[in-house]
Amino acid sequence: MDKIARRALLGMGAGAAAYLAHHALNQGSESSMAQERLAQAGRVINVYSARHYDTDKALYNGFTQQTGIRVNLIEAEADALIERIRSEGSRSPADVLITVDAGRLWRAQQAGILQPVQSRTLTSVVPANLREPQGHWFGLSRRVRVLIYDKSKVNPSQLSTYEDLANARWRGQVLTRTSTNVYSQSLTGSLLAIHGAPKTEQWARGLVQNFARSPQGNDTDQIRACAAGVGSVAIANHYYLARLIASNKPEDQEVANKVALFFPNQRDRGAHVNICGAGVVAGAPNRQAAIQFLEYLVSPKVQEMFAMANYEYPVRSGVPLHPIIQRFGNFRGQNVNAAVFGRNNAEALRIMDRAGWR
């Protein structure tokens, strides 16, 4: 059984368990019946979200205050939510799916659980490369895959591109997540779209040769390992460093002071940009309210809340950035459509497996 099949099986188990628990808790309760009546009247939308930020709840409360439509939030990991909606079928109460990484949104689309949406607001606000061409999903915020380097070991003039990390001069210095992580798959998928399979596999093999250790942990772990001298260059999403900088913990401040951020590929196509995004579920009981909710999430006020609360880059132009993010400076992002590297995730994983990226 390959890794994709194993991950789908695990997602199915988690999704089924989550569904049964949710069903048992609500079966026969008066509050559930009242909620169902409200949903039928279009005054409640069920949002299945893989974003686990307490600050997002303020966004949902704002939607209710603005529209009178209450948000019923169901949180779980992305694969579990996708499988839950799929298994619920036409009976699913889900109106909106929110998750991180275009790869997961692509999986949801391939599972047939998202429907195309036509919205002038969404298409005018969300850049074309940050939304699925037929409107199955839309980016809500941008996440940039950057290089974090040890300031005592690396001069930023030595850094240039993702491709250069496969150069032998970085032997034993590169830190990154496992190949099963969707962020790794999407980065590799974007390179696959640009260079094709043979060159991408050559790059992956070179990168594996340069690993400072076996891939492990999340992006924060890569940055901590970089600061600790395990390696000198880490691949991570930009906001993980921002969180360390903003932390009031002395140990986090120590890490943040030892490293700096570099935007790759600024002299050619730009840095790899991924998204947090959302789509309207195929059988959404409250389709119009769901679309209204997505439009609300790209409004100026909400986009600023994404930026200030979670150190993300907005998808809407002209929105102020968090001061920490401003300190990172301007960057050029690649124009590859997020749907492309989402679609490439499966082949990217096969390439990484052949290259020995575990």
Could you write out the DSSP letters of every residue in 272-283? -EEEEEEEEBTT
Annotated binding site: 52, 239-240
Annotated binding site for Fe cation: 52, 239-240
Mapped onto helix, strand or coil, the DSSP state of residue 121 is helix
Give the C-alpha separation, 238 to 141, whole Å.
12
Give yes or no for a contact between 269 and 96, defined as CB atoms under 8 angstroms apart.
no
Q: Which of 132, 131, 270, 106 is nearest to 194 (CA)?
A: 270
Q: Which of 74, 87, 102 is nearest to 13 (CA)?
A: 87
The answer for residues whose C-beta is within 8 angstroms of residue 164's C-beta and 6 or more apart is 170
Q: Is 129 exposed, middle or buried (0-12, 13-18, 19+ CB in 10 A)?
A: middle
Give the H or E element holding residue 295.
helix 287-297
Give the C-alpha separation, 50 to 47, whole Å.
10
Q: How far is CA 292 from the centre of its chain?
A: 22
Give yes or no for a contact between 195 and 134, defined as CB atoms under 8 angstroms apart.
no
Residue with structure tokens 């150069």? 167
Strands 138-150, 273-280: parallel, antiparallel or unpaired by DSSP?
Answer: antiparallel
Give yes or no for a contact between 215 and 358, defined as CB atoms under 8 angstroms apart.
yes
What φ, ψ does residue 263 adopt, rounded to 5°? Answer: -90, 115
Torsion angle of the four alpha carbons 114, 182, 328, 302, in this order, in degrees rounded to the nearest 10: 20
